[in-house]
Structure 1
């Protein structure tokens, strides 16, 4: 295998997870054992919350690392290595602007934290039901200053045809955040300077590793920065065109266990 590679970091939805949100537990256990035998590391790098990632990988949470909230939280073996939050005032300004902007989501948004996710009164049942698939411990909030948690990001949806325009509108409007597309209609709004690349940089620094030691796997535009940052990048065949073009290699689709198959191939190389 490439002797430089030490950290294998994968996006979740559309990349590691199949379209039904499942994955091959048996193969992951085999791959993690091979990774550990070589003193390497497997990580999830996702827009999902830390709680959500730990829920998905409950059997392996002490054998891997987590870059959650699109880089806003980095954790390893139960320790938070890095967490960047928004102030109450910043979060309130962001929410106020969401109400007034073109294609406003109104009350269909979540505030994600370390302990849970928080939704406002007036949220639609449809949006909340969908959000609960990705965010454990969703709670109703009335006032931001009553939330006893770090306010890590705001996530919301926009019409698919206008997602990129809305992403740009938010980033241009508020200097303290950046918006990033996480799927067809979903946008995460994180503190400015935060990306999966910045999160992975914190994880690499913890081990005194370099970007050339990093292999990343992804499919969407919120993977762009980590593709540009990593020594090796792999796009699943179902990835967005921009990601396919940027990748060092295009691999199988997410429904074919592409990430695990490719990592196993890399580890088996002489």
Structure 2
């Protein structure tokens, strides 16, 4: 993903989601298991598929080829054994329709629920396949009133990570745009325990891979940025920005949605 964030700036992503199956079709296809359709976002764009991602027993099932190939993996399908082979680098994964076990590099792991064939597509547990390929998975049942799952190479924040009403931040207003932003007090601390003066390496240990790790020419500061869960095109995203010099955190700023 490419991101831009200065005051009032953010790169947005676009791709329409495929039409959702009707509730009657879903209940028929996975009966007697209760199912709901969900929205799926992979590295900043909606995933489009002729079979919609869905929830089965609070587990997200997704079409194996659409998601795996979006994550850079290659998928082969053996119709005789109903087995899919996923290869990404040196990692090889075998999954079989209806089987509660899978094989990852020769090691047996258990799946809940097992993969299911639906309309000629093998539906697999999203968290299993994503994390097996080294990705992060997030789920929110009510985010902007839409059950949504995110798969991301980077680490996304929860809204609690950017809570600016806990006494740790001071509100300011950008002169050019009139938009608010929040600077952490000198004695403040982030939700994950980062204070001014901490090593930027500690930030990365606690927050993971950032969306941006660069030099900001407008502020003349080195910055590390993280964003919250979002919906493409909505602009609804908070940003947590760590400014640092000589490997030490000097300033922490929260930018609310544009």
Fold shared per TM-score above 0.5: no
Instruction: Say which structure is richer in strand.
Output: 2
Q: Please report the TM-score for the alignment, with normalisation by the length of structure 1.
A: 0.23
* Higher relative contact order (CA closer than 8 Å, sequence separation 6+): 1
Structure with max Cα Rg: 2
TM-score by length of 2: 0.24
